[in-house]
């Protein structure tokens, strides 16, 4: 009975609004379309203009509560043309979806649950059609920063190295951006220690490192510098560590530190890099 009532409501809404154009279809109308398609609970429903073209659509998450503070189910996209299922994970999703705005574009972000870390799936709308964005599956823990920047964490094993074998679980942030059309990574290029020392505050951090400084990566416009260093262990083993600096107004300040080793880029295929060589006045 509920399904019949929902169908009649959806039909009435579509017919009543047909003369106004598809973009006038209301939130209630889109939700009624979805309700006709699914049998499980609609856990989240977000109605918005996702690509800034004046046409409203919706993303919805349908299923049941699953992992801690998360759910098992599927992501749906709904517009005036109908409702379509986009994805479903056998692992479940850790936490409810997030919705983020970059300029005129808005995105739905899912964090797929895994035992030792997650992977984000980011969906946007382009030309009225849903699109799985290029950063999907790269890392987890989508965290928006200032402007069009954000971080994802990388889950890996890279603390202790012995005879080429790495062990020890780490979760390290990498930096990304939205360039107006696509998601990109702030790729790192080599930075000489002597250049870094030209910045106020950098020498104090570098002099406090109790180990052997290795690769230093400068990530350009986000102002992030990763300094890798090693501490010798027993029988030729080493322990990897890092300090991360934030550059601003000609100074360097400690942002975070921990165990593990940074790479130049987590996703080289979508990375953009600053010009080399990097020099500071």
Residue 19 in this model has a pLDDT that exceeds 80: no
State residue 203 phi and psi, 5-degree precision: -60, -40
The residue among 188, 121, 175 whose CA lies nearest residue 146 is 175
pLDDT for 200 equals 97
For the chain, give the mean pLDDT.
91
Rounded to whole angstroms, how far apart are CA atoms 153 and 170?
9
Give residue-wise pLDDT tens across range 175-184: 999 999 999 9
pLDDT for 165 equals 93
Span 221-236, average pLDDT: 94
69 — pLDDT class (breaks 50, 70, 90) = low
The residue among 260, 272, 17, 44 whose CA lies nearest residue 158 is 260
If one compares 70 and 190, the residue with the highest pLDDT of the two is: 190
Give residue-wise pLDDT tens across range 188-210: 999 999 999 999 999 999 999 99
In the sheet with 119-126, reading across from the earlier edge strand, the strands are 98-102, 105-112, 119-126, 129-132
pLDDT for 4 equals 47
Classify residue 164 by its DSSP letter.
T
Rounded to whole angstroms, how far apart are CA atoms 29 and 244?
49
Residue 16 in this model has a pLDDT that exceeds 50: no
140 — pLDDT class (breaks 50, 70, 90) = very high
Residue 60 in this model has a pLDDT that exceeds 70: yes
Rounded to whole angstroms, how far apart are CA atoms 28 and 41?
16
Handedness of CA 167, 171, 265, 181 (dihedral sign): positive
Residue 227 near residue 280 (C-beta atoms within 8 A): no
Residue 115 in this model has a pLDDT that exceeds 50: yes
- Scanning the chain, the segments in alpha helix (DSSP H) are 2-17, 27-37, 193-196, 202-207
Give residue-wise pLDDT tens across range 26-46: 999 999 999 999 999 999 999
């Amino acid at each position: 009975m509920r399904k019949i009532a929902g169908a009649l409501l959806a039909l009435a809404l579509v017919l009543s609004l047909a003369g106004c154009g598809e973009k006038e279809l209301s939130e209630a109308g889109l939700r009624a379309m979805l309700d006709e398609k699914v049998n499980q609970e609609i856990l989240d429903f977000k109605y918005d203009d996702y690509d800034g073209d004046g046409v409203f659509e919706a993303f919805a998450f349908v299923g049941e509560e699953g992992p801690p503070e998360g759910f098992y189910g599927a992501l749906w996209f709904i517009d005036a043309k109908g409702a379509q299922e986009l994805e479903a994970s056998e692992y479940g999703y850790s936490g409810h979806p997030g919705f983020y705005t970059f300029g005129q574009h808005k995105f739905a972000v899912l964090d797929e649950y895994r035992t030792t870390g997650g992977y984000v799936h980011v969906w946007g709308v382009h030309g009225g059609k849903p699109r799985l964005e290029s950063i999907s599956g790269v890392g987890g823990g989508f965290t928006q920063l200032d402007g069009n920047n954000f971080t994802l964490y990388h889950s890996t094993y890279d603390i202790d190295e012995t005879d080429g074998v790495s062990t020890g679980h780490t979760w390290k942030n990498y930096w990304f951006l939205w360039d107006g059309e696509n998601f990109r990574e702030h790729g790192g290029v080599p930075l000489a220690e002597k250049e870094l020392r030209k910045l106020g505050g950098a020498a104090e951090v570098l002099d406090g490192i109790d180990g052997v400084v290795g690769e230093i990566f400068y990530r350009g416009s986000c102002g992030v510098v990763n300094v890798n260093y090693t501490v010798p262990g027993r029988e030729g083993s080493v322990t990897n560590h890092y300090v991360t600096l934030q550059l601003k107004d000609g100074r360097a300040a400690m942002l975070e530190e921990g165990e593990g080793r940074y790479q130049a880029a987590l996703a080289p295929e979508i990375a953009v890099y600053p010009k080399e060589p990097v020099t500071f006045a």
